[in-house]
Amino acid sequence: MRILILNWKDTSHQLAGGAEVFTEEIAGELALRGHDVTLFVSAVEGRPGRETRSGFQIVRDGGRLGVYRSARRFWSEQRAGSYDVVVDEINTRPFLTPRWIKDTPVVALIHQLAREIWSYETPLPVALLGRYLLEPWWLRSYRDVPAMTVSASSAESLRQHHGWRRVTVIPEGSAPHPVPDVPKEPDPTVVFLARLVAMKRPEHAIDAFGMVADRFPRAQLWMIGDGPLSARLRAAAPPGVTFLGRVRQEELRERLARAHALVATSVREGWGLNVSEAAACGTPSIGYDVPGLVDSIPASGGLLVEPTPAALAKALVELFDGSFALEPTISTVPWPEVAARVEHCLCAAVEAWSEDHATSRNRGRRRTEA
């Protein structure tokens, strides 16, 4: 198949996250399976307009807002039949492909709805406009488009809140790697791994740690990740909190292995790849009972708590004083298996689209003959 994937950013972008890792891992695996894959994303300073990575092509054009217009222009420049299927990856604002792609099947890839995230990441009245007008209006175009998502809770949100009719849950993937052979820290150690942005609620992790430190004065919290909240959080953090910024994969896995627990405090997630990454390094997670995490944390052998710093702190204290134990478990599958599921969904969409259009053509012929 000739596959076009539309996403507003790739892993070269400074705001790239787990969704971009997922996209490019799948694109590479699909290329290995013999498919011709093109990923269209926004421009990145210092990166070429076109490049080949892991067997698939990346095309970059447009900025944060202009990428949607650029994608439409790119499509208009392609010959009819250039692609067999288009994957429209939705990160808050979609490309609205069902409105302007009429001759090729479209499949949506959506990790999570924005919903509550609007109020964390945008000011009033934009937050209200986004949640109650823009997002429902945008997604109304996709109700009859087959969708792929990464958790049962995200699938339920799509069906319940936006009337999405065909949703397939695709498992999260990972590449096998050895668990670092390092001992746990001698003192209670918590790790936070996420971008330092409002929707991840990093201040909740710090507030909870402050309560834990009252009980365990030698406890420490490692904040891994960077973002616009970094300076403010650093200025207000209590003793025992270390900001590590972005770290290399080797150090990341070692830190995860040495910590006693990862905390996840997001407003919502598609899945929560940080939870799976920690479990793969032998470290359980304690996190909020919210969409996405409600799937990944139990699957990884962790503990869900009420979404408040007090509840998070209570669980951490009980973990550290031995009131209960957690056994981390692997909650992802190898990327080739994920790609096989994606490939199946895309092939099914192409077949269904072809059958529908063949039926429509036959009806047209019968009307003409009559």
Q: Which residues contact 214 (CB under 8 A, 6 or more apart)?
A: none
Helix (H) or strand (E) holding 138: helix 135-140
Does this model's pTM top 0.75? Answer: yes
Q: What is the CA radius of gyration of the chain?
A: 22
Own/partner pairs for 56-63, CB < 8 Å, 24+ apart? 56/24, 56/27, 56/28, 56/30, 56/31, 58/10, 60/10
Average pLDDT score over residue span 181-210: 96
Chain mean pLDDT for the chain: 92
Instruction: List, for residues 257-311, the tens digit of each pLDDT value.
Output: 999 999 999 999 989 999 999 999 999 999 999 999 999 999 999 999 999 999 9
Q: CATH 3.40.50.2000 region(s) of the chain?
A: 2-171+335-366, 189-320
| CATH architecture classification, 189-320 | 3-Layer(aba) Sandwich (3.40)
| CATH architecture classification, 2-171+335-366 | 3-Layer(aba) Sandwich (3.40)
Instruction: State yes or no: pLDDT of 210 exceeds 80.
Output: yes
Report d(CA 2, CA 346) in Å as an integer: 11
Instruction: List, for residues 139-193, the tens digit of each pLDDT value.
Output: 899 988 999 999 999 999 889 888 888 999 999 998 887 888 999 999 999 999 9
Q: Identify which has the larger pLDDT, 71 or 64.
A: 71
Residue 84: band (very low, low, confident or very high) from pLDDT cuts 50, 70, 90: very high
Residue 15: band (very low, low, confident or very high) from pLDDT cuts 50, 70, 90: confident
Instruction: State yes or no: pLDDT of 360 exceeds 80.
Output: no
Average pLDDT score over residue span 213-217: 97
Report d(CA 46, CA 56) in Å as an integer: 20
User: Distance from first CA to last CA of the chain, Å, rounded?
Assistant: 37
